[in-house]
Every structure is written in structure tokens, then in C-alpha cells.
Amino acid sequence: MFGLNQKDGQLILIIAILVFLAPFLLNPFPVESELAQFNAGYPDLMQRFIIFGIFAIGFNILFGLTGYLSFGHAAFLGVGSYSAVWMFKLLSMNIIPAVILAVLVSGVFALVIGYISLRRSGIYFSILTLAFAQMSFALAYSVLTPITGGETGLQLALDDPRILGQQITEQGNIPVPSLFGLEMRDSMDVVIGPWLFTFNVGYYVCAIIMMISFYIAVRIFRSPFGMMLRAIKSNQQRVNYTGLYSRPYMLAAFVVSGMYAGLAGGLMAAMDPLAGAERMFWTASGEVVLMTILGGAGTLIGPVLGAGMIKYMENIISKINETILHEWFRWMPDGIEDLVVTLIYPFIGKGWHLTLGIIFMVVVIFLPGGLVEGGQRIMRLFRRRSKSRNTTNSSDTFDSAS
């Protein structure tokens, strides 16, 4: 179906169900519950899950398939954001032209950077991409201020020309990004007993785009082009000895990966029409590396899981403070309560990076395949137990029959 085998089709179907039911799945606790702190079903965070999932999927096409580690992918994220905002300023507030321009401009930018960077491999390639990203950050932050807005960022204004759209709303405000009349910020709240679920237009637009992006990534992974990239990762020199020139394949993978990053940047601007140089900083590039490795480099679903986990910790775990901890453990004796809070607090709140670092070390040492490998091991463990039980039951049946 759609050029996919049964296994890939089932995977996409499962992901689609999970993505579209996310407002329910991410709000498991009642609003008034103390555990409501862990609910993540609000629009801004759900959009981040999806957008950074797209970013990680694209990065995985380069790193997971070829083994080339880029430390400069944030440059394409930033270029995509700037392109989208400029389209909002000049053409219209419809997100489709903005996203298309973000993808195209990021692709051209990736073509230039990739053409130069891929002349080297290994750590030299990584350092070159990092250098380009930092130069892009410096240009956006200071040199190209008329184009990028400098340190304040590129924003919409009341005097923007906006050729095909309205400049000012009837209330005298700046129009908001929309899709054929559907505003990205529009939401609908559904109350079911003590639970509150929010359905946001922007989230579902991003979700549809992510599913299309994931489908394209699956096709790339299963195509002869993807097999060639795996061969390059396995032994690039041997591939060259066969008479196949590997650099065009590498450049194509780099450009496709950059276009995914540009798509993510364009969607970020579509959800919040503001582009800043901080999206090009090296920490943003390091973040997508962490997402991919944590979820499972070279796997299909791994980068999405890694992106979701990091963004969840960044937005939920980081907000837990000492007051909340004392409320959780107030049933304990005072001395023990204070001790427990003292032991836990360094790993949450402002210290959530420490927890992330520990998780990352555990994954790298014990689960090289990331969260996907961890899930596979758990599934194999349950299968072994079920097989052993079936074997035991069948032997008992045979003995009783004897």
C-alpha cells in the first residue's frame, strides 16, 4: 500500500493513531489532580513535539543512514524560519507559501554548505558544518540586521506590504498565520468529567505535515538510494572502489536533510511568526544530535521518540520546584520529607539537564540503539516468557495425557 511493505504500513498507521489522539494521551491526569503537572497536552508543547520530530527525522536521514555527523543543522532551521517570516511579511499570512519557501531556501543553503563540507569526512566534516552554522548565527545576529532583525529577531509589523493578504485586521491588529481561513492559534476545549482536552488547529496541521514527512523518510530508507547511503556508512572507500562515486549521494542526503530542517523552521514560524538568531546557535544543532542518538540513530521512529522525550523534560520536568516536591511528600515525617526533597531536587527543575545527561550516558553505554532498542529488548523478553509458558503448559498437557 502506497509503496510500503506490511510492516512499514502498520508502523505509519500506529504513529498516525498516536499522533491524532495525542490530546487525550498527553493529558492522562485530571485538571485538579496533583499529577496534572505531568500533563503535556497543551498546544504549544504538542506543536514542539511534532516540529522537532520533523527536525530529527531529517537529521536521521543524514546521520542515521550515512554516519556523517553534522553539528550545523540549526543553520537550516534558522534559515527556514527567516524565510517563512519574510513570506508572511511580503506575500500573505497563508502558511503554505511560507513553508514552501522555507524548504526551498534551506535546500539551496544546504546545497552550498554540503558541497564544501563534504570534501572532508569524519570530525573534519563535523567541524566544517559547525563553523558554517556559527557563521550563519553571527551574520543573523549582527551583520545582516536589516534582513534578520538582529538580536531582537524578525517580526511582523503593521506596515508590512503583504501583497495577497490584509495588512491589518478590522480590530487594528497584525493578522495571524492561517490555512485558508483556519487560524493556527484556534483551539477547542473539550471537558470530560475532571479532564480537559485541547484540540488545536496548528497542532493538527503540523501533525499532517509530519506524517507526510515520515512517509517520505520511510520511502527513502527502503529505496535503492537509501541502500546506497547505508553502503557508504558501512564502507565508503569500498563503494568508491566499485566505480560508484559516493559524493553525489552524500550531497543529496545532506540537501534532503537540510530541507527537513527548513520545514521544521518554517513550521515554527507558522505557529509563532518570529524568527531569531538563537535558532542557529550550536546548542540547537547539539539538541537534534541528542534527540537522534537518544531515540535510536538509523531507526525510523527513534528520532521522533528522542525529540518527544527531550522536549517533555525541557517543558515539564524543568518546571517542578521544591514547593511541588514538598506537596508530593508532605505525608512523610518532616525530617524524611526534607531529606527526600533534597535528594531529588538536583535532578529536576533547573537540574533537568543532569537527568538528561545521565539518561544519555545510560543509553550510549547499554542501549546503543537508543530507546527503540530498549523497546525491542522488552518485547523480546515478553516473547521469551510467553514461549516458555507455552512450552511448560504443553509439556504438562503431554505428561497428563501420558
| Res. 393 pLDDT band, cuts 50 70 90 | low
* 8 Å CB contact between 135 and 286: no
Q: Kindly state the average pLDDT of the residues 23-31.
A: 90
**pLDDT tens digits along 157-215:** 888 888 887 778 778 788 899 898 889 999 999 999 889 999 999 999 999 999 999 99
Which residues, at least 6 apart from 253, have a Cβ–Cβ distance to it below 8 Å?
A: 61, 62, 65, 66, 68, 229
Question: Any idea where the domains of the chain sit in the sequence?
Answer: 6-280
| Res. 77 pLDDT band, cuts 50 70 90 | very high
Q: How far apart are CA 318 and CA 353, in angstroms?
A: 9
pLDDT band at 392 (very low <50, low <70, confident <90, very high): low
Of 213-227, 319-333, 383-397, give the range with the top mean pLDDT.
213-227
What is the model's pLDDT at position 45? 92
CA quadruple 124, 128, 133, 137: dihedral sign: positive
Q: Give CA–CA dist 252/16, Å, rounded.
A: 28
Among the ranges given (44-53, 70-79, 225-234, 315-324), the one the predictor scored with the smallest mean pLDDT:
315-324
The answer, yes or no, to whether residue 400 has pLDDT greater than 60, is no
Angle 309-107-97 from CA coordinates, rounded to 5°: 85
Above 70 in pLDDT, residue 396? no
Share of the chain above pLDDT 90, in %: 51
Tell me, yes or no, if the pTM score tops 0.85.
Answer: yes
Q: So what's the pLDDT on residue 398?
A: 45
Domain 6-280 = CATH 1.10.3470 = yes
Kindly report, residue by residue over 80-94, the tens digit of the pLDDT: 999 999 999 998 899
- For residues 339 and 34, the model is more confident at 339
The 3-state DSSP class for residue 150 equals: helix
Residue 135 in this model has a pLDDT that exceeds 80: yes
Element (H, E) at 342: helix 334-344
Average pLDDT over residues 111-125: 93
Q: What mean pLDDT comes out for the span 316-337?
A: 86
User: CA–CA separation, 209 vs 264, rounded Å?
Assistant: 10
The pLDDT of residue 99: 96
pLDDT at residue 230 is higher than 60: yes
| Segment 271-322, tens digit of pLDDT | 999 899 998 988 899 999 999 999 999 888 999 999 999 999 999 888 888 8
Report the mean per-residue pLDDT for the chain: 89
CA separation for the pair 307, 310 (Å, rounded): 5
pLDDT band for position 402 (cuts 50, 70, 90): very low
